[in-house]
Amino acid sequence: MEAAAGGAFATQAKENEIVVAFRPFLLVDYAQSTSSLHQTGRAHRDMSLLNDLDSLDDEQIAAVANRPRQMVIRRIARRYRAANFSRKVLEAYGHRCAFCRVQLGLLDAAHIVPVSASGSTDEVTNGVALCKLHHFAYDSNLVAFDRRYRIRVSESRVGELAEAELDGGIRGFRDALAPTLVLPANVRYHPNPAYVQTALRVRGWRP
């Protein structure tokens, strides 16, 4: 149980049973998976991979021979990484939007290189804290930032919206944006320029 409080998941073999402890956000995954987790005598060895989710890599997961158990472990690892990414990014940015400084509990942790693109990671330097409005605006390519962290509105997108008479509020939208990203105090959490560059390319950015 202590191991689960420190990590997210912990297993321990006792005489005739395996004791499992995990954080609440993994409960659903676990409940859906108990039969595949417990099926064979090798279950404990495979499941012990979950004791150190921080260092568990895709290679180790792929090496789990039992297919259903491999899928369960992969799903739990993914869920854990996503929750961890979000927590670390929001902490790094002081729960403040990097585009407009808003807090108000309206924050998301956005990936710079989108999760769907190859080369995306859950490193804090591939993340940026954005309020709901700016997360959506970023993902719909209305606004982006370059390697020098300058925030840019897409004039081509604004043009399209104006054409469709859907550009209401554009002045207020521009005014709310900081000229450059409101960055974490700790330099090592600043966005990695290589990720920023990749993101502009895969997002098909046209300034």
Q: Contact, 134 vs 90, CB < 8 A?
A: no
> Under DSSP, is residue 14 helix (H, G, I), strand (E, B) or coil?
coil
Return the range that interacts with Zn ion (CB under 5 A); candidates 13-21, 50-58, 92-100, 189-197: 92-100
Under the binding rule (CB under 5 A), the answer on residue 143 touching Zn ion is no
Contact pick of 69, 96, 111, 134 for Zn ion (by CB under 5 A): 134
Question: Which residues touch 193 (CB under 8 Å, ≥6 apart)?
Answer: 147
The tally of CA atoms less than 13 A away on the side-chain side of residue 7 is: 20
- The DSSP result for 39-63, as a single string, is SSTTHHHHHGGGGGTTT--HHHHHT
**Of 135, 151, 153, which is closest to residue 90 (Cα–Cα)?**
135
d(CA 65, CA 18): 20
Of residues 3 and 90, the one with the C-beta less far from Zn ion: 90
Return the range that interacts with Zn ion (CB under 5 A); candidates 18-26, 114-122, 134-142, 161-169: 134-142
Contact pick of 83, 100, 177, 202 for Zn ion (by CB under 5 A): 100
| Contact pattern for Zn ion over residues 33 through 62, marking x by CB under 5 A | ------------------------------
Contact pick of 26, 97, 110, 181 for Zn ion (by CB under 5 A): 97
Return the range that interacts with Zn ion (CB under 5 A); candidates 85-93, 99-107, 138-146, 153-161: 99-107
d(CA 196, CA 30): 36
Question: What are the structure tokens assigned to 188, written together?
Answer: 């090592």
d(CA 11, CA 48): 6
Of residues 44 and 95, the one with the C-beta less far from Zn ion: 95
What is the identity of the amino acid at 39? Q
Contact pick of 131, 144, 181, 182 for Zn ion (by CB under 5 A): 131
Of residues 99 and 173, the one with the C-beta less far from Zn ion: 99
Of residues 103 and 186, the one with the C-beta less far from Zn ion: 103
Interface ranges with Zn ion (CB under 5 A): 97, 99-100, 102, 131, 134
